[in-house]
């Protein structure tokens, strides 16, 4: 569903991405792994149209979206689960869920969201400002599903969350995968990545240097953690 070829990006005079190729199929979960400054965030920002791509092609559901602005990519079905989670603090959980426009007929209804995220059902009338980190992350994911996004792009969904909450987020990602939605996530937690994803791209200095499956990831965990500086 997502096919990226030769993606290049710059910050002023400094090149941040040097011809990156990435693919995500329907119902596939893929991670971007790499040390700080490798280019993971820049790549995701280019994909969603928030950073200018200087070269290469981004094709989504068979359509070249390289020149589309961010809002049109969102309308095409790319859902961004922001790293700051983008929750409206003064609105309730339910209002946060109802706000974004629907982009496809695959939009999850409120009922379906509450079934998959019981904690959001319990907190439906609570204001965004009172949510825990885990609840905010779930709300951000649920909101993207509520738009009918076909591909979710996530920036470290496990970051800063307690292990039990991380496990719940993992289960949710697996449920999302089963519905055919694709997921591309930045993830530094190698153990968590191996439990949710099918494949992993290792980024280094703006290049994909390796593509790993879960067996590779587990076998080389020590080496990778050292490479990632963790």
Ligand X SMILES: Nc1ncnc2c1ncn2[C@@H]1O[C@H](COP(=O)(O)OP(=O)(O)OP(=O)(O)O)[C@@H](O)[C@H]1O
Residue numbers at the binding site for ligand X (CB under 6 A): 11, 14, 16, 34, 36-42
CB of residue 213 vs ligand X: minimum separation in angstroms? 21
The β-bridge relationship of strands 63-64 and 55-60 is antiparallel
- Dihedral angle at the C-alpha atoms of 188, 189, 190, 191, nearest 10 degrees? -170
**Shorter beta-carbon distance to ligand X: residue 78 or 120:** 78
What's the rounded Cα separation, in Å, for the pair 144 and 139? 9
Residue in 85, 109, 105, 84 with CA at minimum distance from that of residue 97 = 109
Q: How far is the CB of 204 from ligand X (least distance, A)?
A: 9
For ligand X, give the closer residue by CB, 82 or 127.
Answer: 82
Q: How far is the CB of 128 from ligand X (least distance, A)?
A: 24
Q: How many CB atoms lie within 10 A of CB 132?
A: 13
DSSP for 102-160?
A: P-STTPPPHHHHHHH-HHHHHTTTSBGGG--HHHHHHHHHHHHHHHT-SEEEEE-TTTT
Q: How far is the CB of 44 from ligand X (least distance, A)?
A: 8
Which one, 36 or 109, has the nearer CB to ligand X? 36
Nearest CB to ligand X, comparing residues 48 and 116: 48
CB of 173 to ligand X, least distance (A): 20
Is the CB of residue 149 less than 8 Å from the CB of residue 103? yes
Nearer to ligand X, 35 or 174 (CB): 35
């Amino acid at each position: 569903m997502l096919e990226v070829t030769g993606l290049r990006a710059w910050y002023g005079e400094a090149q941040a991405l040097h011809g990156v190729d990435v693919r995500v199929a329907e119902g596939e979960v893929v991670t971007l792994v790499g040390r700080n400054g490798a280019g993971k965030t820049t790549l995701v920002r280019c994909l969603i149209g928030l950073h200018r791509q200087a070269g290469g092609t981004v094709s989504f559901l068979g359509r070249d979206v390289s020149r589309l602005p961010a809002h049109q990519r969102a309308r095409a079905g790319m859902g961004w689960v922001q790293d700051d989670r983008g929750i409206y603090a003064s609105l309730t959980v339910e209002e946060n869920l109802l706000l974004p426009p629907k982009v496809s007929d695959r939009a999850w209804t409120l009922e379906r969201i509450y079934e998959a995220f019981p904690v959001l059902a319990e907190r439906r009338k609570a204001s965004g400002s009172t949510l825990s980190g885990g609840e905010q992350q779930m709300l951000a994911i649920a909101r993207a599903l509520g738009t009918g996004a076909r591909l979710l792009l996530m920036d470290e969904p496990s970051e800063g969350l307690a292990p039990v909450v991380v496990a719940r987020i993992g289960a949710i990602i697996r449920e999302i995968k089963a519905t055919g939605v694709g997921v591309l996530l930045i993830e530094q937690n190698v153990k968590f990545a191996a439990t949710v994803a099918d494949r992993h791209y290792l980024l280094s200095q703006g290049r994909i240097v390796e593509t790993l499956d879960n067996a590779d990831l587990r076998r080389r965990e020590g080496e990778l953690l050292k490479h990632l500086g963790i």
